[in-house]
Structure 1
Amino acid sequence: MFGDMMGMMNKLKEAQEKVEATKKRMDSVLVDEQSNDGLLNVTITANRTIKNISVDDDLLKDKEQLEDYLVLTLNKAIEKATKINEAEVAAAAKDGMPDIPGMNDMLK
């Protein structure tokens, strides 16, 4: 019994380490997004840190249009990055979890 508990605790620690390593790795996963017409390009990490914004000169002529483009394009990039991040972290957590009866039903 005690050995099983120690084994589960070790598995949980390994799972936590995998999740932390995955979170750190997400800093190097880049997500590119652009406006529909390609006038604005954004690059962010899967941890949702902005790395680059490229603006076409045509957008610099209209402040309100540029602001709208930034909001829309950044939100699309953040949504993509969040999906990638959540999927990768969930996979790392599930992969490292010990086999605890009934736990899979709770995670659904």
Structure 2
Amino acid sequence: MFGDMMGMLGKVKEFQAKMKEAQESLGQLTESAEAGAGMVKVTVNGRKQIISLTIDPDLIQPQDREMLQDLIVAATNRALENIEEQIKAHIQQSTDGLLPNIPGLDLSKFMK
């Protein structure tokens, strides 16, 4: 029984190390999305930070300010939605085999 407990403790420590490694590498994941037929393009990373914003020069007109704001929000939200799948896959791959497969367990909630 003591050996089982030590083995379990070793798995937990290994899991913690893998989670930390996975978290640190999230910045390398990127996802882009666009809005307005490509007039606004946003790229985000796995830490959910905007790393690039491209705006078509034709949109930079005072009378188009409200539309530009809407397009930026739309592209950003789309990119953030798209990166979620990459984050989940990355975490799952990084921790594969360390914990039993528990249906509904979403480890991405542990990533900040």
TM-score interval, normalised by the smaller of the two chains: 0.7 to 0.9
1:10 matched residue in structure 2: 10
The alignment's TM-score, normalised by the length of structure 2, stands at 0.81
Aligned Cα root-mean-square deviation (Å) = 1.5
**Displacement over 4 Å in runs of 4+:** none
1:5 Cα deviation after fit: 0.6
Asked whether the 8 Å contact 1:33–1:42 carries over to 2, the reply is yes
Query: Does the residue aligned with 1:80 lie in a helix, a strand or coil?
Result: helix
1:72 matched residue in structure 2: 74
Structure 1 stretches lacking a partner, 5+ long: 98-102
Asked whether the 8 Å contact 2:36–2:71 carries over to 1, the reply is no
Structure 2 stretches lacking a partner, 5+ long: 104-112
Asked whether the 8 Å contact 1:18–1:92 carries over to 2, the reply is yes
Query: Does the residue aligned with 2:31 lie in a helix, a strand or coil?
Result: strand
1:10 Cα deviation after fit: 0.5
1:100 matched residue in structure 2: none
The alignment's TM-score, normalised by the length of structure 1, stands at 0.84
Q: Matched residues, percent identical?
A: 30
Structure 2 Cα separation of the partners of residues 20 and 82 of structure 1: 18
